[in-house]
């Protein structure tokens, strides 16, 4: 006669062994990331490979998001290929027209029907652009300086929007500050909040937005400092 107690003990032993046996190891130190990711030992995280950046999948789940057409993954951001610019921060990379930004000394140097105006700079150099624009109408990453009269499409500062990991990557350009927090691109820094030294853009006080952590002013696209 088998006692209830003995049967119980046997059942428990079997259940315990089965559950423990089903608990196989989950961790593989040589395979710690998803297929399109690679483990970065220095950071201790999985980083995206190929032309993708850390973002979300179409279903909203976390994953490596592919960069769009004419974009390259660089420093955790999708930046435009050479010769392309974003007309707006969230816009697609568009081809910079050949005639836009050509060096010039006077209007007659600008032979293109659209970009027929030579905008002269303080150092007596100039570039071909168009006038009479409104906000958001400029091509190739140029920004409409509506403060000027007549309004014109202002060339982005050299280096602005360049992919960077540190300020060193921005050195030697007009945009010397690297946003290492989110966008990982170079910005022009040190603008005056009450001036117009961000042609076509606006001067943004980061100390306000960061709660005092970052005491700096930078040129950003109009309307994006306090959206």
Partner 1 sequence: MMRVSRFGLGAWLLSRASISLAADPPSTAAAPGAPAASTAPAAPTTPVEPGVDMGAPAATTAATPTAAAPGPTTATADADAEAKFDAAPGPATDSFATDESSGDSDTQRKLDLYGFADFTYQRLLVDKDNIWNRTYPSVNSFAVGNFNLYLSSNLGDSWRALAEVRFMYLPNGATKPDGAGNAVRTDTTVLDYTGFSEPIRWGGIRIERIYVEHEFNGLLKLQVGQFLTPYGIWNVDHGSPTIIGIKKPFVVSNQLFPEQQVGLQLYGSYFFDPLEIGYHLTLSNGRGPVEYEDFDNDKAFGGRLYVKTEALGSLTIGGSFYRGGYYDRSAKYVVRNEGSTVDQEYATISKYQELSLGADLKWEYKSWLVQGEAIMNETNFDQNGRPRATALKPPQGFQADYRRWGAYGLVGYRLPFVPLMPYVIVQHAYSPDSPSTPPATAYELGVNYRPTAAVVVKLEYTDWHFSAPGSAGFGSYPLRILATQVAWAF
Is residue 215 at the binding interface for partner 1, with CB under 8 A as the rule? Answer: no
- Give dist(CA 122, CA 140) in Å, integer: 23
- Give dist(CA 91, CA 141) in Å, integer: 10
Tokens of 42: 């220095």
Is residue 46 at the binding interface for partner 1, with CB under 8 A as the rule? Answer: yes
Min CB(116)–partner 1 separation in Å:
31
**Tokens 């816009």 -> residue:** 91
**Tokens 């007009």 -> residue:** 174
Residue from 2, 29, 113, 121 that binds partner 1 (CB under 8 A)? 29
What track of x and - describes contact with partner 1 for positions 71 through 90 (by CB under 8 A)?
----xx------------x-
Residue from 118, 138, 191, 221 that binds partner 1 (CB under 8 A)? 221
- Give dist(CA 218, CA 188) in Å, integer: 6
Q: Are the C-beta atoms of 174 and 167 separated by less than 8 Å?
A: no
- Give dist(CA 81, CA 19) in Å, integer: 54
Report the 10 Å Cβ neighbour count for 72.
15
Is residue 68 at the binding interface for partner 1, with CB under 8 A as the rule? Answer: no
Going by their DSSP bridges, the two strands 143-145 and 45-48 should be labelled as unpaired
Is residue 1 at the binding interface for partner 1, with CB under 8 A as the rule? Answer: no
- The count of residues interacting with partner 1 (CB under 8 A) is 63
Residue from 51, 146, 183, 196 that binds partner 1 (CB under 8 A)? 183
Tokens of 114: 């659209």
Residue from 184, 186, 188, 203 that binds partner 1 (CB under 8 A)? 184
Is residue 65 at the binding interface for partner 1, with CB under 8 A as the rule? Answer: no
**Closest CA relative to residue 184, chosen from 72, 61, 42:** 72
* Contact positions with partner 1 (CB under 8 A) in 105-164: none
Applying CB under 8 A, which residues contact partner 1? 4-5, 8-9, 12, 15-16, 19-20, 22-29, 31-35, 37, 39-40, 43-48, 53-54, 56-57, 59-63, 75-76, 89, 165, 179-184, 187, 204, 206, 209-211, 213-214, 218, 220-221, 224-225
């Amino acid at each position: 006669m088998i006692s209830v107690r003995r049967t119980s003990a046997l059942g428990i032993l079997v259940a315990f062994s089965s559950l423990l046996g089903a608990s196989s190891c989950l961790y593989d130190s040589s395979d710690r990331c998803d297929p399109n990711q690679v483990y970065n030992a220095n950071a201790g995280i999985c980083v995206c490979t190929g032309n993708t950046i850390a973002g979300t999948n179409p279903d909203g789940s976390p994953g490596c998001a592919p960069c769009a057409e004419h974009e390259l993954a660089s420093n955790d951001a999708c930046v435009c290929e050479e010769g392309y610019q974003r007309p707006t921060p969230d816009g697609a990379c568009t081809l910079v027209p050949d005639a836009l930004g050509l060096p010039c000394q006077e209007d007659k140097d600008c032979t293109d029907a659209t970009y027929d105006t030579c905008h002269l700079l303080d150092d007596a150099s100039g570039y071909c652009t168009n006038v009479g624009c409104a906000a958001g109408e400029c091509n190739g990453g140029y920004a409409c300086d509506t403060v000027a009269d007549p309004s014109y499409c202002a060339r982005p500062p050299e280096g602005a929007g360049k992919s960077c990991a540190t300020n060193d990557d921005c050195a030697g350009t007009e945009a010397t500050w690297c946003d290492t927090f989110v966008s990982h691109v170079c910005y022009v820094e040190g603008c005056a909040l009450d001036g117009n030294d961000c042609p076509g853009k606006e001067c943004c006080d980061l100390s306000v937005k960061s709660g005092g952590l970052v005491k700096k002013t930078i040129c950003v696209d109009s309307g994006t400092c306090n959206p």
